[in-house]
A and B are shown apart, each in its own frame.
Chain A
């Protein structure tokens, strides 16, 4: 059974930083592109970033370029999202998802709140 478990969320002040992690199990992590998708409270889904199997390629939505960095550690079956210069509009539930282009499996999500 595929499992994706996010951690590292919480309350952070505007301008601050946070690192999200996603622990993957139940599939061969190194064989899949991975992604982060977010959902602001009461809003729709927004793709944030994706990363290739070996981490050699990444892509981001424009609103986070230069502020967020997606990475992975295949030895630890883990996906990461380093977020810096956080803004109020980054407040959302962040989902880890299996797949780089279509998202077959999703984690339960982790809430990130950017507020003073």
Chain B
């Protein structure tokens, strides 16, 4: 099983700042099989990024994904008030599909 470790656990930032979220895999993951999701309290998850760097439908361009192998990054260029949420990475390169434990982006 591929274990995804997300860091930091919590990121405290102000609106307008840049957020950099990390996702490290225990084994190499093909870039084609790495996705990122956003979940706000009480809401359903929303896919932001698939294939490590492709934005989902309707996702603003302030969200970008990068990385390869075992190290992947989600960057939010300038935080908007609606971006404060929990973010999960997910791999689908091998079964079982697994999610990281999440990074909470909170208002500083």
Contact = CB atoms under 8 A, between A and B. Distances in A.
Contacts of B20: none
Interface string A7-44: 00000000000000000000000000000010000001
A99 to B, nearest CB: 8
A104 B37 CA distance: 10
B37 to A, nearest CB: 7
Interface string A42-55: 00111100100000
Nearest to B57: A104
B97 A50 contact: yes
B84 interface: no
A95 B45 contact: yes
Contacts of A100: 92
Interface residues of A, number: 21
Interface string B45-84: 1110011000011000000000000000000000000000
A44 B102 contact: yes
B88 A102 contact: no
Interface residues of B, number: 23
Interface string B19-54: 000000000000001010101000011110011000
A100 B47 CA distance: 13
A106 B45 contact: yes
Contacts, number: 55
A102 B44 contact: no
A17 B108 CA distance: 45
Interface of B: 33, 35, 37, 39, 44-47, 50-51, 56-57, 88, 90, 92, 95-102
Given A44-B101, A45-B45, 19 more contacts: A44-B102, A45-B88, A45-B90, A46-B99, A47-B90, A47-B97, A50-B97, A59-B96, A61-B96, A95-B45, A101-B92, A102-B33, A102-B35, A103-B45, A103-B47, A104-B50, A104-B57, A105-B47, A109-B44
10 contacts: A44-B100, A46-B99, A47-B98, A59-B95, A60-B96, A61-B96, A95-B44, A101-B97, A102-B51, A108-B44
